[in-house]
Chains A and B, each alone.
Chain A
Amino acid sequence: MNRFNRREAIALTSAFAGGLLAAPAIASGSAKVVVVGGGFGGVAAARELKAIDQAIEVTLVVEGESYSTCPFSNLVIAGERPMSAITFGYESLAAQGVIIRQGLAERIDGERRVVVLEGGDELPFDRAIVSPGIALKFDAVPGYDEAAAEIMPHAWKAGPQTELLRDKLAAMREGGTFLMAVPDNPYRCPPGPYERASLVAHYLSRNNPTAKIIIVDGKDSFSKQALFEQAWAERYPGMIRHVPFAESGGVLGVDPTTLEIETPFETFVGDVVNFIPPQRAAAVAIASGLTGSGEWCQIDQATFESEIVPGVHVLGDAAIVGDMPKSGFSASVQGNVCAHVVAALLRSEAPPQGVLLNTCYSLIAPDYGISVAGVYRVNGEGLLKSVEGSGGNSPLEVADGFRQAEADYAVSWYETLTGRLFG
């Protein structure tokens, strides 16, 4: 009888209820959850809620008919994958019983417990899960507004911007300069800009080998820096110049008519400019008061519940989720765990807890991958902290085949995760 532990007890109840009574073990029949945002966090949460209990009514508010992933969008820019390979529809979520509602959520009204859609329709909820991602700050850098982004694309939300940057790269003159600007932390996907520089270098080394890449950075050091620099020296010697903040003094402004980026010490000119502006939580988070007086959502790191608006859980890039980085992997894991937290709270049970992982793979080239991994636990003070002595980067010294293996694993991760979310 000592094998009859808590887990088996739970399995037993659901086997009993599911098999013999043909009703869910959980009495949450009329519970309504509205999930805002059809990206990594929102899709994971909506789908997991349905897996936990079909009886929960789950509505997912999505902006468009389909979703293009930022992960692997750098491969699209480098001409290695078509846009269609990173674009997914919501059909399979609908087949799982998730109600898909297309349109923009204007704000989440925590007091009345409704999500107000653009146009005025209201979706009532018992609990809401919000994963709307980031907004690009078009008022932070003089000269860089939405119109400028058509000339100096950010390509930091996957979609038309990705294709625009890809096309500009392909059309760049021989020996031209691909100029990038990268913001200071925090921003979506810490290693993403450097993966982009790598894959653009991969493209240029084959198609425009005398071209150059300049990265004007808003900080002095970056994620996986030693690994990136080692790989650049090996694969793309002399092609990439990284300008740390200390060397340029930071971006003062841009001029889309001359394709210039101005800094106190130097004015940089590109033939193609990829300007990644500073970021904050998406507009709906701010309109709903979820960010307080700051730019990111403050949450209880064990339950994802807003510290400002009770009943509303926020995760993914829009929130400060302890030590976890702003990645698609993190957002999806948070969405999954948050679904369990919300399901428990709907049953008036204590929220469950587990260990959360993250891995960010970066491709230097299609056959050369590196990674950073992390393990996170809620500590005694309720903070989601990186576990000491675990996680970390790929090693600098490796045996033959190691980088190829990590590239293969990156592809494997992408296929599995997008399959779990959208397949």
Chain B
Amino acid sequence: MVRMLAFLGLALMAGPARAESSPEALTYLSCRACHADATAATAIPPIEGRPAAELVEAMTRMGQSAGDTTIMHRFVKALSPAEIEALATYVSGLEGAAQ
């Protein structure tokens, strides 16, 4: 158990592996066609490493009403709350992930 927790600590510190094969990691492969790494100065905002709660809030809001959103609401409408949560948690963990 102690060893288990030590491993868990290591895993959480390292963040998720970018190229893991979980459903949310596979879905993120589409997101990253547009959302660049945090270092890039692009019109589309980078999302890697942003707090999960912020990402969940933004996606949920855009799914409910487009407002001045150009495109994200068209994607979010296809995702369940659980999928939004899992995707946000995965993406928020990516900052500093060895890649």
A binds B: yes
- How far, in whole Å, are A336 and B68 apart by their CA atoms in the complex? 30
Q: Which of B67-99 contact A (CB under 8 A)?
A: 68, 70-71, 74-79, 83, 86, 90, 98-99
Partner of A412, one of B10, B44, B74: B44
B34 on the interface (CB 8 Å rule)? yes
Q: Is the CB of B8 within 8 A of A12?
A: yes
Cα–Cα, bound, A358→B30 (Å) = 8
The distance from the CB of A387 to the nearest CB of chain B, in whole angstroms, is 4
Measured as residues with beta carbon below 8 angstroms from the partner, the interface class of chain A is 35 or more
Q: How would residues 317 to 360 of chain A score, 1 for a CB under 8 Å from any chain B CB and 0 otherwise?
A: 00000000000010011001100100110000000111111110
Q: In the bound complex, do residue A415 and residue B75 qualify as a contact, i.e. CB atoms below 8 Å apart?
A: no
Q: How far is the CA of A415 from the CA of B39 in the complex (A)?
A: 13
Pick the contact of B14: A7, A15, A337, A389 (CB < 8 A): A15
**Are A416's CB and B12's CB within 8 A?**
no
A337 to B29, CA, bound (A): 7
> With A7-B20, A10-B22, A354-B23 given, is the CB distance from A416 to B33 under 8 Å?
yes
Within the assembled complex, what's the spacing in Å between the Cα atoms of A417 and B34?
6
Q: Are A416 and B42 in contact (CB under 8 A)?
A: yes
Cβ of B33 and Cβ of A417 under 8 Å apart?
yes
Most buried by B among A329, A333, A354, A392: A354
Q: Does A195 contact B (CB under 8 A)?
A: no
Are B20 and A14 neighbours in the complex by a CB distance under 8 Å? yes
Cα(A354)–Cα(B8), bound, Å:
25
Asked whether, in the complex, the Cβ of B44 is within 8 Å of the Cβ of A10, the reply is no
Write the A393-423 contact mask toward B (1 if CB under 8 angstroms, else 0). 0100001001001101101110111011000
State whether B24 touches A373 (Cβ < 8 A). Answer: no
Size range of the chain B interface in the assembly: 35 or more
A10 and B71 contacting across the interface, CB-CB below 8 Å: no
**A4-B8, A52-B19 known; A354 vs B26 contact (CB < 8 Å):** yes
Q: Is the CB of B74 within 8 A of A392?
A: yes
For the complex, is B53 an interface residue (Cβ under 8 Å from A)?
no
Residues of chain B with a CB closer than 8 A to A265's CB: none
Residues of B within 8 A of A411 (CB): 43
Q: Could you tell me the distance between the alpha carbons of A405 and B42 in the complex, rounded to whole angstroms? A: 12
Q: Which of A392, A408, A420 contacts B32 (CB 8 A)?
A: A420
Select one of B25, B29, B99 contacting A7, CB under 8 A: B25
Q: Does B25 lie within 8 Å of A409, measured CB to CB?
A: no
Q: Give every chain A residue within 8 A of B68 (Cβ-Cβ).
A: 399, 402
B15-50 with Cβ < 8 A to chain A = 15-36, 40, 42-44
Contacts of A15 in B (CB 8 A): 7, 10-11, 14, 17
The interface bits of chain A over 17-46 (1 if a CB of B lies within 8 angstroms of the residue's CB, else 0) are 011000000000000000000000000000
- Chain B: CB-nearest residue to A357: B30
Q: In the docked arrangement, what's the CA distance between A371 and B94, Å?
A: 28
Q: Mark A358-390, 1 if CB is under 8 A from B, else 0.
A: 110000000000010101010000000001011
Give B contacts to A, CB under 8 Å: 7-8, 10-12, 14-36, 40, 42-44, 68, 70-71, 74-79, 83, 86, 90, 98-99
Other contacts beyond A19-B14, A340-B21: 6, CB < 8 A: A7-B25, A359-B71, A390-B75, A394-B71, A416-B34, A416-B36
| Chain A residues at the B interface, C-beta cutoff of 8 Å | 4, 6-8, 10-12, 14-16, 18-19, 48, 51-52, 329, 332-333, 336-337, 340, 343-344, 352-359, 371, 373, 375, 377, 387, 389-392, 394, 399, 402, 405-406, 408-409, 411-413, 415-417, 419-420
